[in-house]
Structure formats: C-alpha cells, structure tokens
Structure 1
Amino acid sequence: MEMKYFDAHCHVNFVAYKEDREEVILRARDAGVGMNVVGTQKDTSADALALAEKYEHVYATIGLHPIHTSKSYHDVKELGEGGKEFTSRGEVFDASIYEALGESPRVIAIGECGLDYYRVEESTKDVQIQAFVEHIELANKLGKPLMLHIRNAYEDALEVLKAHAKVKGDVHFFAGDWETAKKFLDFGFTLSFTGVLTFTHDYDEVVRNAPLDMLISETDAPYVTPAPHRGKRNEPSYVAEVVRAIARIRGEDEEKVRGQVIENVKRVFLSGGNLPRA
C-alpha cells in the first residue's frame, strides 16, 4: 500500500466499531491511510496489537490511559462527540504485561500515557504520575517513542518528562497555547492535531507557528469527527481532512503538507523497521 496519509492516533479497537471494524480498516487502506491503533488498558492494548498483526497498514501503541489508573466517572461533556459515559474500573500498571506486548515490532509507541487532571481527585494525581513514570521507563527500556495524553496538566507532565524520559514522542491531541507548545517542541516532541481544526480556530496559532516538520495528523476516532462529516462516527479515513486543515491554516500547499506529515510519522514512529510491508 502506498501510504498517502497516516492517522497517528485512533481507537478502532473500541466497541464503537464492533459491527463494522474490518470495513472501517479496509476503507482506510483503500484510501491510502495507515493508522496507529492506541490501547488504553491491557485488554484494548492487546486488541490493538492483534489488529496490527493482521493488517499491513495498521500499527499499535500499548499503554494505560491516565483516567484508567483509578476508578472514576466520565461523561459525554468530558469525552466529547462520539463518547459515551462510563465508569473506569481502574487498573494498576503492570509493566511485565505491557513489556511483553511492546516487544512486538508492530508496536510503534508506548501510551497513551500521561496526566489528565480534567476531573481528577487530588488524591489520585500521585497515582497518575507514578503510572506515567513507569510508562516512560518502559519506553526507555524498549527504545520506543511515547504517545502522550495530557489534559489540564502540561506543566506537570513536562516536569516528569524532563526528569525521566530518554526517548521522545508525540503529544496527542495537543490543546495548549503557543507558549506551552514551544516547551514541548523545544524538548523534541511533535504535536498531533485532530478534526477539531476543521470547526474551531482555538489552535490556529500553534499550527501556524510550529515547524511543519513537528506536526502530525490524527483522528482520535471515534471521537471529534471533522467537517464535513460532523454528526457521524469518526474513522481513520477522515484524517485527510485534518491534513487539509493544517495546510489551510498555514497557507501552504496541501500536497507539501501531506508529504511532510508522512515524513514526520516515519521519523517519529516508523524508523525502527516498522515500515509498511507492502
């Protein structure tokens, strides 16, 4: 497959795709879209790897999402379009389980890991931080990049990274301002953006000012569906709309942006022998 686009962060391993998962994955393939399927717990991480081993254009990221480090409630307001309310059962990060998964060459990153302070009890912040450190240590050991999830916690996350990280990676669904963005860029992390670029101008300054070789496209499917597909469940084949939005915001040629984003993905995630098999 000639990879024209890459969805660096999606969840086609989730139950939202139970009825038509293969159709969604093959639709992306037919559109020239590679994808990184991201786990959020041990079961969804194992599912992500299983998909990566089945399809040539699919890769996996394995880890424990910060909101799953303790039992907690999450509603649609927090999760956004495409989300359904749920209560996390909570999971203790077991490095041995994730290391066994992460040794596969089809696993291209560790995560999504980080800190999420959106609706967190003060007492659980230390639990999140400890799990984050353990993810970083695993990434250091395996020599694989980090896929970061950070919400309302950019300064704390950066402090943890500077203290522990030997590897770099990507800040998934970056939602900070330009001053915050510069700190992560200076530390060597790329920033990825979703379909929100198609219906809000909140992140235009960051997209315009960041070096093009530090930007990556993602959908975060099934969430945050881009225009003109709003109201539908999101899917990886829609990532082309994100690339078009980046080009529009920057005032640059779409083909130039598309090609550079693919090069960025290869540099950050696919430089360890994980290039498409066909």
Structure 2
Amino acid sequence: MEKKFKIIDSHAHYDDEKFDEDREQVLNEIRENGVVGVLNCAASYESLKTTNKLTEEYDFIVGALGIHPENADEMKEDTLDEIKSYIKKNDKIVAIGEIGLDYYWDENPSRDVQKDVFRKQMKLAEELSLPVVIHDRDAHQDTLEIMREFPEVIGVVHCFSGSVEFAKECIKLGYYIGFTGVITFKNAKKLVEVAKEAPLDRILVETDCPYMAPEPNRGKRNKSHYIEYIIRKIAEIKQIDAYEANLKFNENFFRLTQKEK
C-alpha cells in the first residue's frame, strides 16, 4: 500500500479574503488530508498582522512577513521596524516575504519604487539572518541583479516562471526553486525543463493558494492538500518515487527555514 503523503505548503495566503467565509473549516480539512505544515506569506501591509495572527492560532502554520511588489507603495518609514517587532515577539515568523518585483501590471508601483522596497527588505533579511520568499514576474534580470547584491541572503524564488538558465543562476546563489500547480498544466513545457534540471535538494512545492490550483482542480480555489498533484508531477518528471520526493521537499523546507544557519 502506498504511504500517505506528509505535505508542507511552502507558500500560501490563508489570510486572503477568499477564505473569509470558511477559513477554519478549510484549515481543518487540509490537516485531515495530510498537510503537516504551511508557510503563510504576507503581501500587503494589512497582511503582516493577519499572517502573524494565523501563526499564533494554528500550530502547523509558520509565517513570512514582507511587502509584495504590487503593494510597494504601502511601505512606510516605520514598516521595517514593525516587521522586526513581530519577528522579535514571534519565533514562528521564519522568513521575509513575499518580496520582489512585478513588472506585469502597468498599474503597479513604479519600477524604481519596487526596487527600493525590495532592496530594503533584502537588507532586513540580511540583518536578521532570515531567508526570503521572492516574487518575480516579468522581471528576471532586475530580480537577479538585486539577489546578487545580497550574497549573504538565501531563499526561494516562488512560483518560478523563468528559464532553465535563470534557475541555474538562482541555484548558484543558494536559492530554492518553488513550483506551483502550473507545473501540471499542459502548456508548462518550459517549467517541466526547469524541474528536470533543478537538483532535488533545491526544489520546494507550494500552492500560492487561493490561486494557481493544479490539474485536475485548475480554476478552483486552491488548497494545500492539492500539492499532492504537484509532487506526483515532479516525481514523474524526475522519474523518482513520489513519496520519497515528498519527504525530500519537506527536508528542503526545514533546511531553508531553520533560523540557526
């Protein structure tokens, strides 16, 4: 009989409004379906507080605190101090994130503002010796440039969307590659190549829930236990046992998020 997966979701947004009506029910459901850990990632200024609160209410949830590039305008003079203060009081905040660059939407804050906010948070991660959760959309070159400015910082490039070459550069810098449900889509050829080339000990799996649900749930609200489909897909690509892959990805997550480096 096949062993039951022990799933760790390395990137989720359970404080998102899409879970407002049934959050507790969903979190109980994912637990019953083999989810043993979740990294909830802040995005907006408001979600610093809501992510922190989730980690206090649920023993299997840890948090990442940061301002997302789409919300870069929300970074005020004292925001970094606020993040620091949450981290000081709560040892379940294990990373700085979700931070980075997003050049996809024209209405996003200007590129200069995004880069400034990204650098400030990378500096904070360096200061606190914490890993980062990086968001990179249509901004590969600038993202890599800023990552290189902080050689002491490592983390994960979440919802990876770049080329094999870009992945190799990230891995060289000590980063992990985060795969979402997109890897299960029929048109994910480029991502399949990345999964083939990425070393097993540099892969993390994630939902980015409520977004990015994998096949066969594409288009639905995403939940952490759907990660099983992502694990199975990567195991198939790499021609390894799915349960062994599951354990390896969990090991990778713990290696990255342990505070004592």
Report the secondary structure of 1:147's partner residue: strand
Work out the percentage of aligned pairs sharing the same amino acid. 34
State the SS of the aligned residue for 1:227. Answer: coil
Task: Give the TM-score taking structure 1 as reference length.
Answer: 0.86
Contact 2:181 2:214 in 1 (8 A): yes
CA distance in 2, matches of 1:215, 1:122: 29
Aligned to 2:86: 101
Matched, 1:92 2:76: yes
2:157 matches 1:171: yes
User: Are 1:50 and 2:53 an aligned pair?
Assistant: yes
Query: 2: distance between equivalents of 1:231 and 1:117?
Result: 24
Letter in 2 for 1:265: F
Per the TM alignment, residue 187 of structure 1 is displaced from its structure 2 partner at its CA by 0.6
- Is the 1:41–1:91 Cα contact (8 Å) retained in structure 2? no
- For residues 198 and 229 of structure 1, the distance between their equivalents in structure 2, rounded to whole angstroms, comes to 10
- Superposed CA deviations along residues 91-132 of structure 1, whole A, max 9, x for unmatched, are 436211111122221111101001111124798111111101
Instruction: Check whether the contact 1:7–1:218 (CA below 8 A) recurs between aligned residues.
Output: yes
C-alpha distance after superposition, 1:190-246 (max 9, x if no partner): 001101111133300000111000000000001111112223211112111111111
Q: 2:139 aligns with which of 141, 146, 153?
A: 153
The alignment yields a C-alpha RMSD, in angstroms, of 1.8
Letter in 2 for 1:259: L
Tell me if the contact between 1:102 and 1:110 (Cα under 8 Å) persists in the aligned partners.
no
Corresponding position: 1:204 with 2:189: no
Q: Where does the alignment leave 5 or more consecutive residues of structure 2 unmatched?
A: none
* Residue identity opposite 2:240 in structure 1: E
Given residue 216 of structure 1, which amino acid in structure 2 is its aligned partner?
L
Structure 2 counterpart SS, 1:182: helix
* Paired position in structure 2 for 1:22: 24
Aligned residue identity for 2:87:
G
Q: Is the 8 A contact 1:227 1:241 kept in 2?
A: yes
Match of 1:134 in 2: 120
Q: Does 1:252 align with 2:249?
A: no
Does residue 61 of structure 1 match 2:48?
no
CA distance in 2: counterparts of 1:3 and 1:54, whole angstroms: 24
Match of 1:218 among 206, 229, 239: 206
SS at match of 1:249: helix
TM-score (norm 2): 0.91
Amino acid at match of 1:197: I
Indicate yes or no: 2:158 matched with 1:193. Answer: no
Q: Is the 8 A contact 1:110 1:147 kept in 2?
A: yes
Does the 8 Å CA contact 1:48/1:62 hold for their aligned counterparts?
yes
CA distance in 2, matches of 1:146, 1:185: 14
**Separation (CA, whole Å) in 1 of partners of 2:109 and 2:102:** 13
Describe how 1:32-43 pairs up with structure 2 within 5 A: 32-33=34-35, 34-43=37-46
Q: 2:111 aligns with which of 106, 117, 125?
A: 125
Contact 1:140 1:166 (8 Å CA) reproduced: yes
1:165 deviates by 4.5
Distance in 1 (CA, whole Å) between partners of 2:235 and 2:5 is: 18
